[in-house]
């Protein structure tokens, strides 16, 4: 499979149907998805396959980009996703990332997000990328701030306090 983005410890590529088990593993974890707005969306491997087919593969086709499979090079394992996806309600792409808990706290989130943001700007030529993070997700807010995003507004959505960054 074609590697689109590579860092010292990570690679990113488009998802394929071969990734169903990995998507199920990180997608059904309550800890991984608790702040994402789609917690509980992946209950089984059929749901994981549906996300791959009907979301990511469809978005690659429609927009030319979507979330990418995040591969930890040391063990050659898909550990989550990272990348930008077009958000019609925002009128622009949003950066997002998530990974299995055992990979947290190692700087991989920043490493992945920084590389994905550079790819979005330099390869995809996206002039504007935004991000949303819920109040409780302080680790993601720190990543966004370290990347140079600026908090521009706060609002309530689906019972969460959401911070918007540009």
DSSP assignment of 54-120: IIIIHHHHHHS---EEEEETTTTEEEEEEEEEEETTTTEEEEEEEE-GGGTTSSHHHHHHHHHHHHH
User: Which range is least confidently modeled, 15-19, 39-43, 59-63?
Assistant: 39-43
pLDDT at position 40 is 55
The average pLDDT across 62-84 equals: 97
Q: Give the pLDDT confidence score for residue 1 in this predicted structure.
A: 67
How many domains does one find in the chain?
1
- Domain membership of residue 115 (yes or no) is yes
Does residue 164 lie within any of the structural domains? no
Residue 133 lies in a domain: no
Is residue 155 included in any domain, yes or no?
no
Q: Determine the length of the chain.
A: 166
Flag whether 147 is in a domain: no
User: Which one has a higher pLDDT value, 39 or 142?
Assistant: 142
For residue 11, the enclosing domain spans 3-126
pLDDT digits (tens, 9 = 90+) for 43-70: 889 999 999 999 999 999 999 999 999 9
- pLDDT band at residue 36, thresholds of 50, 70 and 90? low
The CATH number of whichever domain residue 16 belongs to comes to 3.40.630.30
Which residues pair with residue 85 across a beta bridge? 94
């Amino acid at each position: 499979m074609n590697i689109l983005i590579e860092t010292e410890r990570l690679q990113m590529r488009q998802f394929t149907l071969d990734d169903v088990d990995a998507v199920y593993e990180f997608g059904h974890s309550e800890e991984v998805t608790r702040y994402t707005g789609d917690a509980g969306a992946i209950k089984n491997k059929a749901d994981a396959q549906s996300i791959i087919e009907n979301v990511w593969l469809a978005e690659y086709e429609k927009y030319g980009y979507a979330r990418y499979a995040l591969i930890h090079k040391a063990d050659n394992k898909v550990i989550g996703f990272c990348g930008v996806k077009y958000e019609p309600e925002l009128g622009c792409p949003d950066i997002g990332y998530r990974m299995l808990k055992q990979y947290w706290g190692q700087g991989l989130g920043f490493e992945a997000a920084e590389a994905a943001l550079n790819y979005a700007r330099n390869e995809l030529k996206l002039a504007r990328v935004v991000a949303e993070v819920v109040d409780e997700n302080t680790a993601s807010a720190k990543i966004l701030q370290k990347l140079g995003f600026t908090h521009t507004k706060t609002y309530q959505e689906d019972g969460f306090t959401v911070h918007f960054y540009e």
